[in-house]
Amino acid sequence: MRFFELLSFQHIMLYVFPTLLFILVFGVGLAFSHFKTGDSEKRFSEISHLFADGLRERNAPYPLVMMLIIAGTVAWVFFYILMTGFLGVKI
């Protein structure tokens, strides 16, 4: 049990609000930004396969936000391993 109950509430708010902000930014990024190529508009609007119950499949362009998240993760892993080895930190 903590001596100050407000501290627990502050920690919860520090976890919840950045998470909600990330979800909002991620959703907007997925919805509105894609790698643009010559046939992006055609691929985004053309239905490539029609499933039962009205489900449609498109061959849409890859979202830019996903590419940035993947690149950031790879860079973080590389520098984490490099700095862990350089500083001699035991994992």
Collapse the DSSP code of 12 into the 3-class scheme (helix H, G, I; strand E, B; otherwise coil) and give the result.
helix
The series of mean pLDDT values per 10 residues for the chain, 91 residues long, is 69 86 85 73 78 82 82 92 83 61
- Asked if 51 and 72 sit in the same domain, the reply is yes
- Asked if 46 and 76 sit in the same domain, the reply is yes
Distance between CA atoms of 65 and 29, rounded to whole angstroms? 6
- Asked if 38 and 61 sit in the same domain, the reply is yes
For 67-88, how does the pLDDT look when each residue is reduced to its tens digit (9 = 90+)?
888 898 999 999 988 988 888 8
- Asked if 68 and 85 sit in the same domain, the reply is yes
Domain count, the chain: 2
- Asked if 47 and 28 sit in the same domain, the reply is no
- Asked if 3 and 19 sit in the same domain, the reply is yes
Distance between CA atoms of 29 and 32, rounded to whole angstroms? 6
- Asked if 57 and 89 sit in the same domain, the reply is yes
What tokens were used for 76?
A: 């973080």
